Amino acid sequence: MNKEKCIIIGSGPAGLTAAIYAARADLAPIVFEGTSPGGQLMGTSEVENFPGFPKGIMGPQLMNDMRSQATRFGAKTLYQNVDRVDFSDAKNLKIYAGHETFTAETVIIATGASARWLELGKGEERFYGKGYSACATCDGAFFREKIVAVVGGGDSACEEAMFLTKFASKVYLLHRRDTLRASKPMVKRVMENEKIEVIWNTSVTNLEGENLLSGVELTDTQTKATSKLALNGLFMAIGHTPNTNFLDGQLETSHGYLVVTDNTKTKIPSVFVAGDVADYRYQQAITAAGAGCMAALDAENYLAEQL
């Protein structure tokens, strides 16, 4: 059976940047793109903060360009999900996808983290990119002088609410309990910001609007009373779920995120990690791309040391 030099799992900015570097280093990487290739940027509209695009670039275009850049240098992409892996032999890493088994000398895991959305089952997906977002950093600037709300009570929700005050005329913070779990300094900043109004003990129970989102239905978590709130943007900040199920516990995690040492390394010397699957903190396309670069260089160095 063929042994690949490098298999990359994931096709967001981390995976595809790793693919560009690995391909240019003659590692002939195979990229498992999954069945929803391109990662989270496929669901965003204009990306204004990725360097090199002074006029911005559409998220899907950026990802397609990254893929073209990787394949130009010989990366092979497969639109398949990895079902499971077996890393028990560090020199023969096994990757199982559908009915196929692949063996690799190195693996780079770049499967990202999925933002958690409301799961109302009422077709709220129709508002993706039309007022319903899970990334204030990405989409906040589209809401100048508009009314927006952030759902959540953690550091991300507070940070996103603070960030949105730069653009929006009013920011509601919608939290299901009566205390925020965010750190004290963060809570203080939120409470002192005149543009932010916290609505306690509340859940969003419906999204409303024709084409664009124009309001939400709120339900008081204690009294169950419902009310309407008119707004233009709703930002989810109820956490992310790192995509690690296929690893079945073979790598160490902390709060669900893969644990790395020395930037991209794991306890298995031939397995490297890049991007949001190991990063709860920055979660930006550019930081993921940087980590993808580092993982590919680390994989290349590891292979050189084996000669």
Task: For residue 138, indicate whether it is catalytic.
Answer: yes
Using CA atoms of 239, 244, 249, 251 in order, give the dihedral in degrees to the nearest 10.
Answer: -100
- Indicate the residue among 26 and 178 with the shorter CB distance to ligand NAP: 178
Give the rounded distance of the alpha carbon of 154 from its chain centre. Answer: 17
CB of 125 to ligand NAP, least distance (A): 16
Residue number closest to ligand NAP, CB atom: 154
CB of 118 to ligand NAP, least distance (A): 7
- Indicate the residue among 18 and 113 with the shorter CB distance to ligand NAP: 113
From the list 122, 92, 295, 269, the residue with the least C-alpha distance to 204 is 122
Task: For residue 158, indicate whether it is catalytic.
Answer: no
CB of 215 to ligand NAP, least distance (A): 18
CB of 276 to ligand NAP, least distance (A): 12
Q: What is the 3-state secondary structure (H, E, C) of 183-212?
A: CHHHHHHHHHCCCEEEECCEEEEEEECCCC
Q: What is the residue whose two structure tokens read 């199982």?
A: 96
- Indicate the residue among 77 and 137 with the shorter CB distance to ligand NAP: 137
CB of 242 to ligand NAP, least distance (A): 11
Task: Tell me which of 6, 135, 158, 293 is the catalytic residue.
Answer: 135
- Indicate the residue among 135 and 237 with the shorter CB distance to ligand NAP: 237
- Indicate the residue among 66 and 173 with the shorter CB distance to ligand NAP: 173
Task: For residue 293, indicate whether it is catalytic.
Answer: no
Q: Phi first, then psi: what are they for 157, rounded to 5°? A: -60, -45
CB of 207 to ligand NAP, least distance (A): 14
- Indicate the residue among 273 and 296 with the shorter CB distance to ligand NAP: 273
Go through 195-228 and write b for each residue having 16 or more CB atoms within 10 A of its CB, e for each that does not: ebebebebbbeebbbeeebebbbbbeeeeeeeee
* Distance between CA atoms of residues 165 and 189, nearest Å: 12
Task: Tell me which of 139, 276, 279, 298 is the catalytic residue.
Answer: 139
Kindly list the residues in this chain that would bind ligand NAP in the complex (CB under 6 A): 151-157, 159, 176-177, 181, 237-239, 280-281
Task: Return the active site residues.
Answer: 135, 138-139
